[in-house]
Structure 1
Amino acid sequence: MANEKADPGFYDYWPYQQRPKITWPNGARVAFWVAPNIEFYELNPPANPHRKAWPQPSPAVPGYSIRDYGNRVGHMRQMAVLDKYGVRGSISLSTALCDHHPEIIELCRERQWEFFSHGIYNTRYTYGMSIEQERDMIRDSMESIYRHTGQKCAGYLAPALSHSEDTLDLFAEVGTEMFGDEAGFYTCDLFHDDQPTPINLRSGKRFVSVPYSLEMNDTIAYVVNKVEPRRYGKMLKENFDRLYQEGTDSGTVMCIPTHNYQVSCPHRLRAFEEALEYITGHSDVWVTTGREIAEYYLQHYYEAARADIQTKGTPAQSTLASEEVTCP
């Protein structure tokens, strides 16, 4: 049986070398941001035929309770460490948390942390949703952030990374309807680069991908790759060293995505703190937020990047649009 597989064409092939040079504020080599995933999981969520929320039968107490630990205990630990090193978090927020734990929202708001959307619940996936259902979910999450924090949500990471081919277009469309054409929007759902890149939307709206690293994500490190805390801390430093070195030629981006039920466990926190101390100890690092990276790039480099892509890039869709895959 032959199926035609097409690249969705969100971005074009654009070689890393010899792009227009990026210079971050004050000549920084690296734009560094931390993205705490502050999530809310349901003990017994509605069933989704495409993905089970929990590996255990209901009630899934082990999985649920460790995530509850993150919001009760881990969040406070992580917040204290970020405060110590002058890092404002960019929260990948399950917006149901606004109703379930408004105290956490207030603590982050007081510190001028950024809030961006990670859907409503991290146990409710985009898989199987109609376009209208996904649009409503995106709108609901953006409205919740605005209502509880006063922030106009600029960024999006699909709940549990369950984005669809329509997610980026829908987020930009809903955001423009709510906040106007001049708002700068970004996605964390693509993991294809170490610099911001323009994203292709059906509307042609200005939209950017801000690097959000799955390799540096604490859940990927600890749960998927079974990395020990000491090794994770070393990975963070080595990742930074490479980006810092390359940042002498053109500014790079480093993101540490965290989860308050992972990195904030007592036996893991020290490795994270030592990495923060090392990274922020460099003077030519811009310690910032996802929103600020997106806004700076859109203002200073977006148009030059588009022009350079037109000159030497290769449209992504052309590589796969006509390719046939034969299934056994």
Structure 2
Amino acid sequence: MKSDPGFYDYWPYHNRPKIKWPNGKKLAFWVAPNIEYYELNPPKNPNRAAWPQATPAVAGYSIRDYGNRVGHDRQMKLLDKYGIRGSISLSTALCDHHPEIISACKERNWEFFSHGIYNTRYTYGMSEMQERDMIKDAMETIYKHTGQKCAGYLAPALSHSELTLDLFAEVGTELFGNDGGFYTCDLFHDDQPTPIHLRSGKQFVSIPYSLEMNDTIAFVVNKMEPRRYGQILKDNFDRLYQEGEASGTIMCIPTHNYQVACPHRMKAYEAALDYITSHEDVWVTTGREIAEYFREHYYQAAINDIAEKQTSIQGAQ
């Protein structure tokens, strides 16, 4: 049995090679709206139930439908106000169910990355070929409807296999060469980008996508009031902005339009966005741009530093 997932090496935060974001910015800031589609009666998965409620889960389904009907428009206008281009964690079935959402985001040059096809269909129990086909279907759908070569991945409902990252990178290369399939949001182990081990040897990056700043974790799991959520966003930013003086950091706010875009939660969210974007030395960007910049400027330096530190650790044992 593995003692860790094996996707990355231990790499102490202290004394890494310094990162400077474009124009000397201290912190890279991105917002990742999860724009999802849930089925009322999805195919059953023996490893995980799609709904915690009894079937039919009308209440669970309808609040998520609210996110696409109402919440998306509300959050999109707020991000427009602060000049933030969303990086959409997309359930690609949305391209067929709600093409008007895709069109509105495409007009704003938002990024689209893969969150699977439906958020009620999980990786658990799939064969390697089934998972590969699902990943390929989602990437091809994004390209068909947006013209974007999908770069990033967040597994549907965070469901993973040991081969997920390998398959995503390989399908990305098959479809789009080096422009496709080169970053993941599924690992929550760092505040800076890190290189990831793949069987193909492709340059592949994990970028921070914070579960702690995720609105569903805040509101549903941790039972926070909106003003408390707004405050932790500011506190998180303050620490990362301070540390970014020494080496560039990343802050991500993962959102859901049926959570943060409810009317009573928007005021606190807007206050946090206003606070973050009012600071100098913040690079307001997308997931793809962060991963591309790191691959081009810092990937090899990171690999070299990791190897040096691993050698040092082994020598001390």
Deviation at 1:184, TM superposition (A): 6.3
The size of the alignment, in residue pairs, is 314
Q: Which structure ranks higher in relative contact order (CA pairs < 8 Å, sequence separation ≥ 6)?
A: 1
TM-score, normalising length from structure 1? 0.94
State the shift of 1:314 in Å. 7.2
Kept after mapping to 1: 8 A contact 2:169/2:181: no
SS at match of 2:178: coil
Task: Name 2:280's counterpart in structure 1.
Answer: 283
CA distances 1:266-285 after superposition (whole Å, capped 9, x unpaired)? 00011110000000001210
- 1:258-308 deviation per Cα after TM superposition (whole angstroms, max 9, x unaligned): 000000000001111000000000121000000000000000000000000
SS in 2 for 1:18: coil
Asked if the contact 2:173/2:181 (under 8 Å) is kept, the reply is no
Matched, 1:226 2:223: yes
CA RMSD of aligned residues (A): 1.4
Tell me if 1:257 matches 2:254.
Answer: yes
Q: How far apart in 2 are the matches of 1:105 and 1:243? A: 32
Per-residue deviation, 1:164 = 1.0
Match of 1:192 in 2: 189
Give the Cα–Cα distance (whole angstroms) in 1 for the partners of residues 20 and 182 of structure 2: 21
> In the TM superposition, what whole-angstrom CA distance separates every residue of 1:20-77 from its partner, at most 9, and x where no partner exists?
0000011111000000000000000011111111111211100000000000000000
Aligned partners of 2:147, 2:189: CA distance in 1, in Å? 31
Structure 1 position 141 matched with structure 2 position 138:
yes
User: What amino acid does structure 1 have at the position aligned with 2:279?
Assistant: H
In 1, the alpha carbon distance for the partners of 2:310 and 2:83 equals 38
Which residue of 62, 87, 92 corresponds with 1:90? 87
Contact 2:168 2:181 in 1 (8 A): no
Out of 2, 27, 32, the residue aligned to residue 29 of structure 2 is 32
Question: Taking every aligned residue pair, what percent have the same amino acid on both sides?
Answer: 79
Return the TM-score normalized by structure 2.
Answer: 0.97
Q: Which residue of 2 aligns with 1:44?
A: 41
Structure 2 distance, partners of 1:306, 1:182, is 21
Q: 1:92-134: CA deviations, max 9, x gaps?
A: 0000000000000000000000000000000000000000000
Runs of 4+ more than 3 Å apart: 181-184, 313-316
**Of 53, 78, 82, which aligns to 2:75?**
78
Contact preservation (8 Å) 2:191, 2:208: yes
For residue 134 of structure 1, give the secondary structure of its aligned residue in structure 2.
helix
Gaps of 5+ in 2: none
Aligned partner of residue 6 in structure 2, secondary structure: coil
Counterpart of 2:267, as a letter, is: R
Structure 1 residues 182 and 144: alpha-carbon distance in aligned structure 2, compared to 1, 3 A threshold: closer
- Residue 174 of structure 2 aligns with an amino acid whose one-letter code is E
AA matched with 1:93: L
Name the CA distance, whole Å, in 1 between partners of 2:181 and 2:269. Answer: 31
What is the CA-CA distance between 1:144 and the residue it aligns to? Answer: 0.3
Give the letter aligned to residue 258 of structure 1.
Answer: T
1:177 corresponds to: 174
1:63 aligned to 52, 60, 65, which one?
60
| TM superposition shift of 1:5 | 3.7
Distance across 1 between alignment mates of 2:41 and 2:92: 18
| Deviation of the 1:181 alpha carbon | 3.5
What amino acid is aligned across from residue 266 of structure 2 in structure 1? L
Q: Unaligned 5+ residue runs, structure 1?
A: 319-328
| Aligned partner (choices 207, 214, 218) of residue 204 of structure 2 | 207
Counterpart of 1:154 in structure 2 is 151
- 8 Å Cα contact 1:9-1:315 kept in structure 2: no
- CA contact under 8 A between 1:12 and 1:315: conserved in structure 2? no
Structure 1 residue aligned with 2:12: 15
Counterparts of 1:181 and 1:154, CA distance in 2:
9
SS of aligned partner of 2:95: helix
Corresponding residue number in structure 1 for 2:213: 216
Q: Partners of 2:190 and 2:311 in 1: how far apart?
A: 16
Q: Are 1:115 and 2:112 matched, yes or no?
A: yes
One-letter amino acid of the counterpart of residue 61, structure 1: V
> Do the aligned partners of 1:32 and 1:286 also contact (CA within 8 Å) in 2?
yes
Contact kept, 8 Å, 1:124 with 1:159, in 2: the verdict is: yes
